[in-house]
Amino acid sequence: MEKQRYSLRANVGFFFNKPIGFSRDFHAEFPEIFLEPDLNVLNMKVVYRFSRTREGLLLQTDLSGDIQAQCVRCLAESSVPVSTKFEELFYFPERTQEESDQLIPSDGYLDLADIFRDYILLEIPINHLCKPDCKGVCVECGQNLNLAECGHTDSRIILPDA
């Protein structure tokens, strides 16, 4: 199945001539979206606001969605809900004296996919469990112990509490 790709380019060119303090709210929902190069997000909901400041545009975002991740005990794929709130300042090129990755392009279009991807990746838990009482896999035969017992026992391995 091909991953769904949507453009997350925001036209902010109309902010160039607006007064300081001017803001605009945006809302988007995607049942499935692929954020290049490697992140597929399900049920992504994003509410964001651009506000005009003296230096540029302040982006305030509330983002949520579901990510498919592998359980660290049983290696099964499961859905992980992620949500994040963040702020980023995008500078007008004439307002900054130093090199910055967050410059507003002269065409007035910001691609928000990279920044959304970065903040979602920060919210994925390092030790994701498919469920709190996951039994893991058998160390001898590899059987997923959540699905069936295999008959092997190894008293040397004790699973830590999550």
Per-residue confidence in pLDDT tens, the chain, 162 aa: 455 556 789 999 899 889 999 999 999 999 999 988 889 999 999 999 999 998 889 999 999 999 999 999 999 999 999 999 999 999 887 766 566 678 888 888 999 999 999 999 999 998 999 999 998 888 888 888 889 888 776 555 556 665
The token pair at 5 is 């790709």
Tokens 């925001």: give the residue: 10
Q: What percent of the chain stands above pLDDT 70?
A: 86
Integer-rounded Cα Rg, in Å, for the chain is 22
74, two tokens:
């049983």
Domain extent for 160: 134-162
pLDDT recorded at residue 122: 94
Please tell me the total count of domains within the chain: 2
Q: What is the pLDDT of residue 161?
A: 64
Dist. CA 19–CA 38, nearest whole Å:
38
Determine, yes or no, domain membership for 128: no
pLDDT at 27: 94
Any domain includes 32: yes
> Do 140 and 113 reside in the same domain of the chain?
no
Question: Is 2 part of a structural domain of the chain?
Answer: no
At position 138, the amino acid (one-letter code) is: C
d(CA 80, CA 132): 13
| Same domain? 14 vs 79 | yes
| Cα–Cα distance for residue pair 131/86, rounded to 1 Å | 28
Are 116 and 138 within one domain?
no
Pair (145, 100) in one structural domain: no
Statement to judge: residues 41 and 93 lie in one domain: yes
pLDDT the model gives residue 151: 79
Nearest in space to 50 (alpha carbons), one of 84, 85, 25, 27:
25
